[in-house]
Amino acid sequence: MKVKFCPKCKSEVVEMVIGGKIGLWECKKCGYRGSIFPEKEIKVKERRKEK
């Protein structure tokens, strides 16, 4: 499983603000916005409870 993370603060708390072709993402931690967010592989087993 892959998750996007913020290239600025490395937070995984990112949210898609515009989907589709453009695909703009925003970091909820530092407010960084961009269409290119790096992805990293995570283990599905390590899914955390965040709610």
Which letter does DSSP use for residue 5 in this model?
A: -
User: According to the binding rule CB under 5 A, does residue 11 interact with Zn ion?
Assistant: yes
User: According to the binding rule CB under 5 A, does residue 5 interact with Zn ion?
Assistant: no
User: CB of 30: closest distance to Zn ion in angstroms?
Assistant: 3
Nearest Cα residue to 5 out of 44, 14, 16: 14
Count of residues that bind Zn ion according to CB under 5 A: 8
Neighbouring C-beta atoms of residue 7, cutoff 10 Å: 13
User: According to the binding rule CB under 5 A, does residue 13 interact with Zn ion?
Assistant: no
> How many residues belong to the chain?
51
Instruction: Name the residues that contact Zn ion, by CB under 5 A.
Output: 6, 8-9, 11, 27, 29-30, 32
